[in-house]
Structure 1
Amino acid sequence: MYGQASPFAPRNYRPSNMYSRVGLETEVHGASAHRLIGMLFDGLFDAMAQAQGALASGNRELKARALSRAVRIIDEGLKASLNKEHGGELAVQLTELYSYCCLRLTQANLRDDVSLLLEVRGLLLPVREAWGAIAPQVDNAPAAAA
């Protein structure tokens, strides 16, 4: 039975996934708030790449799952984490950008349109890169300032 999925396990369950999941959970528990947002961006770009590959291969089920995951990461992760009370104009602009990206990813799913995926990737890549660029500043900031 080792190496085989249980008949009671989810359809896409693989025993090797358990090790990846434990590693991810360990990383999440020890991560700073800044690193958690970076992980959301990583997951988002992975989901969009998976959706693009699924579109290319004609796997509509995988495409739908990946795009649904991408929309949830944006909406329930990135957008929900914005501090609208203290974030000022930047928080407002990011909220609008994230809403637009969710709309375009939903349209990409409905239309099987890879160009919409590429549009969202192009819009969010600079945000992801900027977030990564401030990591050294956040990591070196005194605890009281963070």
Structure 2
Amino acid sequence: MYLQSYLENQVKNAHPLDHVIMLYNKAISCLKIAKKAIEEGLKNPENVKKKAENLGKATEIIAYLQGSLNIEKGGEIAKNLNLIYDILISELVKANLEDNIEIITKSIETLETLKKAWEDIKTNLNAKI
């Protein structure tokens, strides 16, 4: 109970950039679970469930991030992120259908690179305060 309350408080009081970083962390975590489920074998129904649920969660998170973009205010960066999110979503659907670990691995790498960029932005903002 205490942990749940702590986590809720952490999310409520977080900076908007922290929210974005948390979403990236969760999507990456979900993709790693899905990848591991495929690696362990999909003859086990539990692994099939883990793969599908976690690829679905990661896709939902990416769609949420995409939906939160403000193309007008964000300009070229928002347009590029929109395109990246489109590609990631398409690739994750393909990975789910084909049980393709390589696509999942590349998607994790892409999300980790984007997360690092957001972390750098946060660090630069904190340095200016």
Give the TM-score, by structure 2 length: 0.87
Q: Does the alignment pair 1:74 with 2:62? A: yes
Instruction: Select which of 81, 84, 95 maps to 1:94.
Output: 81
CA root-mean-square deviation: 1.6
Whether the 8 Å contact between 1:79 and 1:95 is mirrored in structure 2 is: yes
Unaligned runs of 5+ in 1: 1-17
Q: 1:101 corresponds to which letter in structure 2? A: L
Residue identity (%): 31
Q: Deviations over 1:62-81 (max 9, x none)?
A: 000000000000001x1122
30 and 100 in structure 1: CA distance in 2 versus 1, 3 angstrom threshold: same
Q: 1:113 corresponds to which letter in structure 2? A: N
Q: RCO higher in 1 or 2 (8 Å CA, sep ≥ 6)?
A: 2
Q: Does the alignment pair 1:114 with 2:101? A: yes
Q: 1:34 corresponds to which letter in structure 2? A: L
> What is the aligned partner in structure 2 of residue 61 from structure 1?
49
Which whole-Å CA distance do the structure 2 matches of 1:91 and 1:48 have between them?
A: 23
Which whole-Å CA distance do the structure 2 matches of 1:20 and 1:105 have between them?
A: 31
Compare the two structures and name the one with the higher helix fraction: 2
Instruction: Select which of 21, 32, 48 maps to 1:49.
Output: 32
Shift of 1:21: 3.6
Instruction: Select which of 18, 24, 33 maps to 1:35.
Output: 18
Unaligned runs of 5+ in 2: 42-46
Shift of 1:19: 5.0
Q: 2:51 corresponds to which letter in structure 1? A: K
21 and 108 in structure 1: CA distance in 2 versus 1, 3 angstrom threshold: farther
State the SS of the aligned residue for 2:106.
helix
Larger Rg: 1
Q: Deviations over 1:4-37 (max 9, x none)?
A: xxxxxxxxxxxxxx55443322211010111100
Whether the 8 Å contact between 2:28 and 2:111 is mirrored in structure 1 is: no
